[in-house]
Amino acid sequence: MDAAALRNRLVMATSMWRENTDEPLPRMPPGDPVEQIETFELLVVELLFAEATAQTAPKVADQTWDLVHDRPEADPVKRRVVGGHEALAKLVAEGATEPDQPSSE
C-alpha cells in the first residue's frame, strides 16, 4: 500500500475519532504501519458502534461506510463494518417499534 493511501486512511480515522470522543488518540505500539492503521480503524469503528443509538445509527452507518466503501471484501475493517451495519439496522428497527414515551408536560 502506498504512503499516500495510508496517510489518507490515518487522517480519516483520526478525524472520526476526534469527532466522536474527547478521549486522547490511543498510542499504537511500534510495528508495521499498515497493521497500526488497521488496528486504529477497528478501534474507531468499535467506538462508534458501541455508542450508537437508534437515533444515531444511520449517521454511524454512513461514517463507517465512508471509511471502507472502496476496499476489497476481504479487508478486516470492511468485514467488521458490514457486520456492524446489521446490528445498527436492528437497533434502528427496535427504536422504531418502541412505544412513544409520555411527555413530561
Nearest Cα to 62, choosing from 20, 95, 97? 20
Flag whether 41 is in a domain: yes
Rounded Cα gap, residues 48 and 45, in angstroms: 5
Rounded Cα gap, residues 52 and 41, in angstroms: 17
First to last CA, the chain: 58
**Helices (DSSP H) in the chain: which residue ranges?**
3-20, 33-51, 57-68, 76-97
Flag whether 7 is in a domain: no
What distances in angstroms separate CA 70 from CA 5, 77, 78, one per listed residue? 12, 12, 9
**The total number of structural domains that make up the chain:** 1
Flag whether 28 is in a domain: no
pLDDT digits (tens, 9 = 90+) for 46-105: 999 999 999 999 999 999 999 999 999 999 999 999 999 999 999 999 887 755 554 444
Flag whether 80 is in a domain: yes
Q: What is the pLDDT of residue 95?
A: 82
Its domain, for residue 60, covers 34-97
